[in-house]
Structure 1
């Protein structure tokens, strides 16, 4: 019995395996978590000058742009060039329960940290209910 060899099958298998393992945005990996009344986004931006970081909020979409410049020189000869350079961008959709006007940003040790507070109207609160002359406190979750 003859075995048929398909060179494209192996190439396709390797390509699909590498695509599954590739990060979504290799230039700006992101961690996002909730810590009490705020969301925290940490974005790795090693080698980025803080003055090149631009953060905008428009229509409840947060956009982060940053530039990592390449080393240049007349006598420069690259032996290995694996670190991505250029302008990178990342967008995060903001839900209705956050306060986009109170977002804070800090850049230290190559990590951009965004603190996104939960909006006051989205926080749980107590509502007083009166009935027949007596007051009763009922917890209400606004989410």
Structure 2
């Protein structure tokens, strides 16, 4: 019976068990969904000072940046899993969004952005007109 053994996979498993298990979890998890004629982006930012949150949009790139300050004190750390420092995330937004009308709110550790769809991109009905005139006859010239 043959057995496949990958030494690199074994090293990843070993280092993964020694290091903090934050490799698979993003520092700023988010949900994005469409509700009617706008998109809702909800980002988890627990423990963030609301004054440190910076949301900007430049050339269809939305950037969210926030600062989590480390706890200061004279105590001895027994367990330290909550990251501190600057966290940032960028998203490239598609066309058809009203980027100048994005609104943001922060409550209970969740940053919520509302991104409306632009008027030009909204579906609309186009009225088809028809004429009730009689058909015109085309005569051949001699």
**TM-score, structure 2 normalization:** 0.79
Structure 2 residue 85 is matched with structure 1 residue 83: no
Which is strand-richer, 1 or 2?
Answer: 1
1:50-106 CA distances to partner (integer Å, 9 max, x unpaired)?
Answer: 000001100000000001111012x22111110011001001111111110000000
Which range is displaced more, 43-52 or 121-130? Answer: 121-130
Q: Secondary structure at the match of 2:128?
A: strand
Shift of 1:9: 5.0
**Any residues of structure 2 matched to 1:6-85 within 5 Å, and which?**
8-12=8-12, 14=13, 22-23=24-25, 26-73=26-73, 75-85=74-84
**TM-score, structure 1 normalization:** 0.78
Shift of 1:10: 2.1
Q: Structure 1 stretches of 5 or more lacking a match?
A: 135-143
Shift of 1:124: 0.4
- Once residues 131 and 68 of structure 1 are traced to their aligned partners in structure 2, the CA distance between those partners, rounded to angstroms, is 64
1:102-137 CA distances to partner (integer Å, 9 max, x unpaired)?
Answer: 000000000000000011100000112212149xxx
- Once residues 117 and 81 of structure 1 are traced to their aligned partners in structure 2, the CA distance between those partners, rounded to angstroms, is 39
Q: Secondary structure at the match of 2:120?
A: helix
- Cα 1:77–1:122 change in 2 (3 A) is same
Q: How many equivalent pairs are there?
A: 127
